[in-house]
Amino acid sequence: MHYGDVIASDADIANIFASIFKSVYRSPLRPPQWNVENIGIKPFSFLPSRLTIELKEVEESLLSLRTTKSRGPDVISAQFLFSIRAQLKYPLLFLFNLSLVESIFPSIWKTSQVIPIYNTGDPRSVFNYRPISGLPLIGKLFEKIVHKRIERRFKLVLSTNQHGFYSRRSTTTSALEFSSFIKDSFKNISQVDVIFTDISKAFDSINHKVLIYILDKLGIGEPLLSWFKSYITGRR
């Protein structure tokens, strides 16, 4: 259902979903005169400027496909990659490190197949679905290796009070910590002021220029910074 109209054909349904999902990424940040340089960020010398992937990391990533049954839009299945892992590990090691040195994330690994997944609300409304992108598995293996490498260092930068987009944390852990804080405040007869906000499509509408600016100011250097630029741009 779209604005009260019932959409029947598969082609029309697909086109409506594509239009809705695309509009999220085209929505500009407001106010447009906002200047990212106004962000006060302290640089950290321990954040990486370059990465070199090791063979053991590639081997472990390929072994992780043992229980995976998915396949990417390139129709290469996890089972196939797992079955030829011994022959594949050295070519992948070369490609991954070349990508990091040249600061280029291959375009073919940025081509996704988008599937609408029901989120909340009326399941008949297209606005209550979120897009899940199915990506080529080799690119995802590369992502996981890089993520694992930098995650530990970035945790030293993130606020200890953050629960969103943080491993082993969720809305549940946030609520528990907040409830505990409120309880302690009541015991101490202290005032508590709270601001609740709900940013719609927050993850999908992140401004890439702002993200790269923040990574730069945090201390991510070249060639890794340019690799991140390549990684997040030109996705289809």
Structural domain includes residue 172: no
Could you give phi then psi for residue 107, rounded to 5 degrees?
-60, -35
Structural domain includes residue 64: yes
Structural domain includes residue 208: yes
pLDDT in tens, 158-209: 788 888 878 888 889 999 999 999 999 999 999 999 998 877 666 666 778 8
Structural domain includes residue 147: yes
What is the reported pLDDT for 166?
82
What is the reported pLDDT for 202?
65
What is the reported pLDDT for 32?
47
pLDDT band, very low/low/confident/very high, at 40 (cuts 50, 70, 90): low
Structural domain includes residue 167: no
Structural domain includes residue 187: no
DSSP character at residue 37: G
Structural domain includes residue 50: yes
What is the reported pLDDT for 31?
45
What is the reported pLDDT for 39?
62
Structural domain includes residue 4: no
pLDDT band, very low/low/confident/very high, at 70 (cuts 50, 70, 90): confident
Q: How many C-beta atoms surround the C-beta of residue 115 within 10 A?
A: 12
pLDDT band, very low/low/confident/very high, at 50 (cuts 50, 70, 90): very high
What is the reported pLDDT for 91?
98
What is the reported pLDDT for 165?
78
**C-alpha to C-alpha distance for 84 and 79, rounded to whole angstroms:** 9
Task: State which residues form the domain around 52.
Answer: 10-158+198-232
Q: Stretch 147-156: mean pLDDT, rounded? A: 86
Share of the chain above pLDDT 70, in %: 86
Report the number of distinct structural domains present in the chain. 1
pTM of the model: 0.75
What is the reported pLDDT for 72?
84
- How much of the chain is helix, strand and coil, in % rounded to 5? 50, 5, 40
**pLDDT(114) > 50:** yes
Question: Does residue 19 contact residue 192 with C-beta atoms inside 8 Å?
Answer: no
